[in-house]
């Protein structure tokens, strides 16, 4: 079990952080030179976080070092490693900004730094959820109701790996189930050509699918689904149709996610709008 005492003891220096990152596979502990096919030498120079690899043989001596952070969680990071690991722990502990500053064993962290790294951690959580959904299998089935809707996720500061920057995310949830499917819409497109294959991948045929009136859903009945719709432009009751069809479950799921993100973002509406719209 991690606590602040263990965090201080484990990540007090840059060298301690690098050793932990190597042990946990967060960075490579060795790399071969492409030219000489021999192990390169790790060095703390050439990169402010986890250092670099450098080959000392022949003409390679004059070449730039290869960053150990490239393609990792630490790529493009601008703060010291102890601060990074501390902020990761603070995010996982759901600490607010005041708690982050109060418990810090390092230099005082700015609001911008805390918000940037909390946003970075949130994106990692979303991507992990997306990457590990397939093992659960399809939701729904004959006679079962699945509610579907989209919400837009916003920006983060650092450019690392796959991003949810300005992308629409499709949410699918089965009535009576806690399994929420989240999938990023490729190329930020919400057309039928994009959404229908995603739905077929995650929702079993024969399901009763409830959506709003977005035109991309109009052909769902042609793909083995019973399609029911809710007019969300209805000022009297935007989430329940006259026949009782509703999308309240998926809408409430978005609200829960947004409240969670808002809490971690210190009720800062401007920063929150950058994360999820």
CA pseudo-torsion sign 154, 271, 239, 231: negative
Give the best-scoring range by mean pLDDT among 101-105, 130-134, 141-145. Answer: 141-145
User: Residue range 189-214: average pLDDT?
Assistant: 93
User: Mean per-residue pLDDT for 230-257?
Assistant: 67
Q: Check residues 228 and 177 and name the one with the higher pLDDT.
A: 228
Checking if the pLDDT of 129 tops 70, the result is no
The model's pLDDT over 215-234, given as tens digits with 9 standing for 90+, comes to: 999 999 999 999 998 886 65
267 pLDDT tier (thresholds 50, 70, 90): very low
Rounded CA separation 100/103 (Å): 6
Cα(27)–Cα(173) distance, integer angstroms: 36
- pLDDT the model gives residue 270: 42
> What's the average model confidence in pLDDT over 114-133?
74
Tens of pLDDT, residues 60-87: 888 888 888 888 888 888 888 999 999 9
Q: Region 143-165: what's the mean pLDDT?
A: 66
The pLDDT value recorded for residue 109 is 86
Indicate the angle between helix axes 81-92 and 111-131, nearest 10 degrees. 60
Contact between residue 118 and residue 87 where contact means Cβ atoms under 8 Å apart:
yes
If pLDDT is split at 50, 70 and 90, which confidence band does 1 have? confident
Q: In what order do the strands lie in the sheet with 145-153?
A: 180-184, 167-174, 145-153, 208-211, 226-229
CB 68 within 8 A of CB 75: no
Residue 10 clears pLDDT 90, i.e. is over it: yes
pLDDT-derived band at 19, boundaries 50, 70, 90: very high
153 pLDDT tier (thresholds 50, 70, 90): low
Nearest to 192 by CA among 165, 227, 153, 145: 227
Q: Which domains does the chain have, with CATH numbers?
A: 4-109 (no CATH), 134-275 (3.30.420)
Distances (CA, A) of 159 to 51, 116, 188: 19, 12, 17
Give the percent of the chain with pLDDT over 90.
28
Predicted confidence (pLDDT) per residue in 46-55, tens digit: 667 888 898 9
- Name the pLDDT band for 251 (thresholds 50, 70, 90): confident
């Amino acid at each position: 079990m991690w606590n602040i005492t263990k965090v201080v003891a484990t990540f007090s220096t840059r060298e301690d952080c690098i050793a932990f990152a190597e042990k946990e596979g967060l960075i490579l502990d060795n790399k071969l030179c492409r030219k000489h096919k021999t192990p390169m030498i790790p060095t703390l120079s050439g990169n402010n976080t986890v250092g670099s690899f450098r080959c000392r043989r022949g003409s390679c001596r004059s070449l730039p070092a290869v960053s150990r952070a490239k393609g990792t969680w630490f790529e493009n990071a601008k703060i010291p490693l102890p601060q990074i690991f501390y902020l990761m722990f603070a995010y996982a502990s759901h600490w607010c900004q005041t708690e982050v500053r109060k418990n810090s064993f390092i230099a005082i962290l700015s609001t911008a730094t805390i918000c940037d790294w909390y946003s970075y951690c949130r994106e990692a959580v979303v991507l992990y959820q997306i990457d590990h959904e397939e093992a659960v299998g399809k939701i729904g089935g004959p006679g079962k109701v699945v509610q579907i809707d989209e919400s837009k996720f916003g920006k983060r500061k650092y450019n690392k790996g796959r991003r949810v920057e300005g992308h629409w995310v499709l949410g699918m949830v089965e009535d009576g189930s806690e399994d929420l499917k989240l999938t990023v819409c490729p190329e930020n497109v919400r057309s039928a050509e994009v959404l229908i294959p995603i739905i077929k991948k995650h929702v079993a045929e024969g399901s009763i699918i409830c959506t709003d009136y977005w035109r991309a859903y109009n052909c769902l009945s042609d793909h083995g689904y019973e399609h029911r719709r809710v007019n969300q432009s209805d000022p009297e009751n935007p989430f329940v149709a006259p026949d009782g069809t509703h999308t309240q479950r998926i809408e409430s799921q978005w609200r829960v996610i947004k409240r969670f993100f808002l809490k971690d973002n210190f009720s800062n509406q401007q920063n929150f709008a950058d994360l999820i719209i």
